[in-house]
Structures are given as structure tokens and as C-alpha cells.
């Protein structure tokens, strides 16, 4: 694939269609589950790619239609991070608004996923909380 000297692309997420997810603060809450969610995410991704082609971008992305937020998709790879039972915390910016944050279970011990990925990334990402 031959690209121009300066290729046009996008950084970050494309807006999610309202039929796919509802935004709550800085995260997406998907409206569907299971196979219906996967199909809706595929449709939203196709729509995002079509839009990028139509406006003439050189490098296309999936528009991050499957991500729930900026950081939780990374945290989901760790065993010991509880994304289901969040706590509220006041953050540095906008202290007047408590934010939901994941809880760390008593022991953060390993990275979920394939054994190959665990071995390759264990030294960079492994940490323990006691």
C-alpha cells in the first residue's frame, strides 16, 4: 500500500451511534449483550470505516466502537481488578463529581489472556498489591 508523504488519519474514537451505546461520563454503556452486541459493534465499525473513506482519510481505524472507555479495557486484562463492583472516588480534576473507579482485590497477581502473552508481558506489567 502506497501512502502519501503525509497521510491523513484520525486519533481516538469516532462517536458511537446512539443505538449501540449510551455515554455515562467517560465510558460507554452498551445497550445490547451477547451476539446482538457483537453484530451491533460490527455494524458501527463498518459505519465508522465508511465515514472515514467518504471524508478521504488515508489510514482507517475501527473507530474504537468496541471499547467501553479509555482505560478499563486495559485493566480488564489483569486478574485482581474488579470492574463490576466499582467504588466512587473524587479525582483531581472536577472534584465536585465523584467518579466510579475499579476496585483492586486483595491480591493483584497475573494478567489474563493467552499464556504466550502472559510470559511476554509479565515483566513489564506485573505488580502486586498487598
Model confidence over 50-69: pLDDT tens digits? 999 999 999 999 999 998 88
Cα 80 off chain centre by: 18
Pure H helices in the chain: 34-54, 72-75, 115-125
Domain boundary assignment for the chain: 1-69, 72-125
Report residues of the chain scoring pLDDT below 70: 94-95, 107-130
Model confidence over 31-53: pLDDT tens digits? 999 999 999 999 999 999 999 99
The per-residue pLDDT for 87 is: 87
Amino acid at each position: 500500500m502506497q501512502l502519501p508523504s503525509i497521510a491523513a488519519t484520525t486519533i481516538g474514537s469516532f462517536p458511537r451511534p446512539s443505538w449501540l451505546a449510551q455515554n455515562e461520563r467517560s465510558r460507554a454503556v452498551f445497550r445490547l449483550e451477547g451476539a446482538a452486541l457483537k453484530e451491533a459493534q460490527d455494524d458501527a465499525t463498518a459505519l465508522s470505516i465508511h465515514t472515514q473513506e467518504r471524508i478521504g482519510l488515508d489510514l482507517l481505524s475501527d473507530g474504537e466502537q468496541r471499547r467501553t472507555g479509555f482505560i478499563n479495557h486495559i485493566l480488564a486484562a489483569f486478574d485482581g481488578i474488579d470492574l463490576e463492583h466499582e467504588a466512587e472516588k473524587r479525582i483531581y480534576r472536577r472534584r465536585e463529581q465523584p467518579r466510579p473507579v475499579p476496585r483492586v482485590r486483595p491480591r493483584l497477581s497475573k494478567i489474563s489472556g493467552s499464556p504466550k502473552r502472559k510470559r511476554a508481558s509479565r515483566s513489564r506489567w506485573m505488580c502486586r498489591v498487598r
